[in-house]
């Protein structure tokens, strides 16, 4: 996944996002299934990166995220929260939980966060429970752990205001 | 009480008091209301923005807090006026009920009770200030600005107080600039509510409008 874009001078990156959605599940092709009458929920990974405006740590960011989500997300359970080791040795944070997506449908979400210089990367896995194929939590974590940012991001950050 | 929804923001603003005909906070709120109608408020799709006027009395503050909680406002932005530049207040102190007379209240501004409880906003104040080119402040004063700010934080609301420039004798105000600044602050607040944003991104990606099959 390599991108190239020659921007005019004066434009600085501040945020970026990639969405990776699971393919169509052939088990759901039966037209009698109610899921085929509507768009059924598909598992996905979302990679979001943004430049922080002020100094922080991955733990602070996870605490903030966790506090927001505990207030806002309906019927949260199976909560997992704490440090998370990425394959390249960086220690980030993980926050995972199950929640009610619809009355009859629950879903899971796993967030992996890491801070490289001023760049906060959040990789989010979201999948319905009981609909279509499901990745095991260990496989999700392996995917999250494999993320590495561009090398030049890590040297950026000496100018972050405290 | 409704669960607090970070996608709901309640903007509270003080009306005129002390014999004045207008308040820069109210004027700023009106501009923001117009921006809401024009669709130019920097809020994500699906966010709701409401405005509620505050008067300089305890009953009005209590009504405001109750309304914010009952409505599930996950973000409470309070607007007041003061001499000086646009600034984001980070701390609120339990200074008790301010004197009824605004001039006596102003006269007590130098009194600082060391034992007063200090509460800190959980809003991304630094990012909000940066987005607006505003200053950060750690003292919301001794009057109702600090009072409502403290009451909101004490009530468990995610609240932040913004002082807009009052101008001199209701003149020399930059209400347009204040409204632009506060709008940018609101945008930064939503941008930095990244937990909810990340959650919403994942959930919305489950229901693609452009399913690749």
Contact (CB<8Å) B201/A17: yes
Residues in B touching A66 (Cβ below 8 Å): 195
Domains located in chain B, CATH noted: 5-205 (3.40.630.20)
Residues in A touching B131 (Cβ below 8 Å): 53
User: What burial class does residue B189 get, using C-beta atoms within 10 Å of its C-beta: 0-12 exposed, 13-18 middle, 19+ buried?
Assistant: buried
pLDDT at A123 over 50: yes
Interface predicted TM-score (ipTM): 0.81
The H or E element that residue B132 is part of is helix B125-132
A51 at interface of B, judged by CB pairs closer than 8 A: no
DSSP secondary structure string, A105-137? EEEEEEEEEEEETTEEEEEEEEEESSSS----H
B136 versus B105: which is more confidently predicted? Answer: B136
B154 versus A36: which is more confidently predicted? Answer: B154
Chain B: nearest CA to A134, how far in angstroms? 13
B99 versus A12: which is more confidently predicted? Answer: A12
Contact (CB<8Å) A71/B213: no
Contact (CB<8Å) B201/A53: no
DSSP secondary structure string, B32-83? HHHHHHHT-SS--TT-EEEEEEE-SSHHHHHHHHHHHHHTTEEEEEEEEEES
User: What burial class does residue B197 get, using C-beta atoms within 10 Å of its C-beta: 0-12 exposed, 13-18 middle, 19+ buried?
Assistant: buried
Selected for mutation to probe chain A from B125, B134, B198 (highest A CB count within 10 Å) is B198
Selected for mutation to probe chain A from B194, B196, B200 (highest A CB count within 10 Å) is B194
Chain A: nearest CA to B180, how far in angstroms? 19
Report residue B211's pLDDT band, with 50, 70 and 90 as the boundaries: very low
Mean pLDDT of chain B, nearest integer: 83
Contact (CB<8Å) A72/B213: no
Q: How far is CA A7 from each of CA A4, A18, A119, A154, B140, rounded to the nearest angstrom?
A: 10, 20, 20, 21, 43
A:75-104 residues touching chain B, CB 8 A cutoff? 101
Domain boundaries, chain A: 39-152
Q: What percent of chain B has pLDDT over 90?
A: 40
Q: What's the whole-model pTM score?
A: 0.62
A29-43, A52-66, B67-81: the lowest-pLDDT one = A29-43
* Count, residues in chain B: 213
Sign of the four-CA dihedral B129, B133, B139, B141: negative
State which residue of chain B sits closest to A43, comparing Cα positions. B206
DSSP secondary-structure letter at B204? H
What distance in Å separates the CA atoms of residue A66 and residue A95, rounded to the nearest whole number?
7
Strand ranges inside B55-185, DSSP E = 73-82, 87-89, 91-93, 118-120, 135-137, 159-165
Q: Which of B124, B194, B207 sits opposite A65 (nearest CB)?
A: B194
Contact (CB<8Å) B198/A46: yes
Residues in B touching A74 (Cβ below 8 Å): 3
Q: Half-sphere exposure (CA, 13 Å, Cβ side) for B141?
A: 24
A and B: number of Cβ contacts within 8 A: 101
Hey, which residues does B12 pair with through a beta bridge?
A: B52, B78
Contact (CB<8Å) B207/A41: yes
Q: What is the pLDDT of residues B105-131, one digit of tens each?
A: 655 555 555 456 788 888 888 889 988
CA-based end-to-end distance of chain B? 44
Orientation angle between helical segments B194-205 and B175-192, nearest 10 degrees: 60
Q: How far is CA A36 from each of CA A24, A141, B187, B202, B213, rounded to the nearest angstrom?
A: 11, 30, 38, 21, 13
Contact (CB<8Å) B206/A19: no
Q: Has domain A39-152 been given CATH number 3.40.50.720?
A: no
Closest CA to B107 of B208, B42, B18: B18
Q: Give the Cβ contact number of residue B130 at 10 Å.
A: 18
* Count, residues in chain A: 162
Contact (CB<8Å) A72/B127: no
Contact (CB<8Å) A66/B195: yes
A133 at interface of B, judged by CB pairs closer than 8 A: no
Highest mean pLDDT among A89-98, B83-92, B170-179: A89-98
Residue pair A109/B202 in contact (Cβ under 8 Å)? The answer is yes
């Amino acid at each position: 996944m390599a991108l190239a874009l020659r921007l005019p001078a004066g434009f600085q990156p501040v945020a970026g996002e990639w969405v990776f959605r699971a393919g169509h599940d052939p088990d759901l092709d039966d037209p009698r299934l109610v899921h085929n009458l509507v768009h059924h929920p598909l598992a996905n990974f979302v990679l979001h990166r943004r430049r922080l405006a002020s100094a922080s740590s991955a733990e602070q960011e996870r605490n903030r995220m966790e506090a927001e989500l505990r207030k806002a997300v309906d019927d949260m359970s199976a909560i997992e929260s704490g440090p998370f080791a990425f394959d390249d040795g960086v220690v980030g944070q993980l926050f995972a939980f199950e929640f009610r997506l619809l009355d009859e449908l629950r879903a899971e979400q796993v967030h992996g966060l890491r801070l490289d210089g001023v760049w906060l990367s959040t990789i989010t896995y979201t999948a319905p429970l009981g609909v279509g194929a499901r990745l095991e939590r260990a496989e999700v974590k392996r995917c999250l752990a494999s993320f590495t940012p561009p090398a030049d991001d890590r040297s950026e950050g000496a100018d972050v205001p405290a | 009480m409704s669960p607090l929804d970070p996608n709901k923001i309640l903007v509270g603003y003080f009306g005129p008091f002390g014999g004045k005909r207008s308040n820069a906070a109210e004027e700023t709120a009106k501009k923001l209301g117009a921006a809401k109608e024009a669709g130019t408020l920097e809020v994500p799709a699906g966010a709701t923005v409401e405005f509620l006027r505050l008067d300089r009395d305890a009953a009005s503050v209590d009504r405001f807090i109750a309304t914010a909680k009952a409505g599930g406002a996950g973000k409470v932005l309070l607007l007041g006026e003061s001499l000086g530049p646009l600034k984001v207040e980070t701390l609120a102190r339990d200074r008790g009920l301010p004197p009824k007379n605004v001039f006596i209240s102003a006269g007590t501004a130098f009194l600082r009770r060391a034992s007063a409880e200090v509460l800190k906003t959980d809003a991304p104040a630094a990012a909000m200030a940066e987005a607006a080119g505003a200053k950060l402040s750690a003292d919301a004063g001794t009057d109702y600005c600090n009072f409502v700010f403290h009451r909101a934080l004490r009530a468990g609301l995610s609240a932040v107080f913004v002082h807009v420039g009052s101008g001199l004798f209701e003149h020399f105000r930059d209400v347009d600039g204040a409204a632009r600044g506060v709008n940018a602050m609101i945008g930064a607040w939503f941008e930095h509510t990244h937990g909810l944003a990340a959650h919403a991104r994942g959930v919305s990606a489950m229901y693609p409008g452009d399913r690749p099959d």
